[in-house]
Amino acid sequence: MPLSVSKDFHVVESDTKGKSLFTSRKFSKGECIYLFDYWSKKVMPIHVTNHSCEPNSSFNAAGELIALYDLEANEEITYDYLLHPIPASPWDFTCLCQTDGCIGRVKVATRN
């Protein structure tokens, strides 16, 4: 099911990373890219936003995904899954972000 077309972002598919969310226009630092919403439709922007250990966006307390830097058009939008608004998500995967600060494996610590 295709993601509804947006003037703000679009989905790119690649063999290595699968679906990724890319900007369709410039965003200024501090600007809201989209609102956290996991449930309204079968495919939401958050479903195709990839993790990065050095992300360019982050969720705030109001559930807005905020640009951490000025973003160019056609830049991949990423956030840190370990700072996800649903911390119970059972993340456990090898990271492909290829940044200098990559932690290698994204895994939610289990609570005792």
Closer of 21 and 97 to Zn ion (Cβ): 97
97 binds Zn ion (CB under 5 A): yes
Q: How far is the CB of 19 from Zn ion (least distance, A)?
A: 17
Helical residues (DSSP H) of 48-109, grouped into ranges: none
- Phi, psi angles (nearest 5°) of residue 58: -155, 145
48 binds Zn ion (CB under 5 A): no
What is the spatial distance between Cα 29 and Cα 7, in angstroms, rounded to a whole number? 18
Residue among 53, 67, 71, 77 that touches Zn ion (CB under 5 A): 53
The 8-class DSSP code of residue 14 comes to E
The residues binding Zn ion (CB under 5 A) are: 53, 95, 97, 102
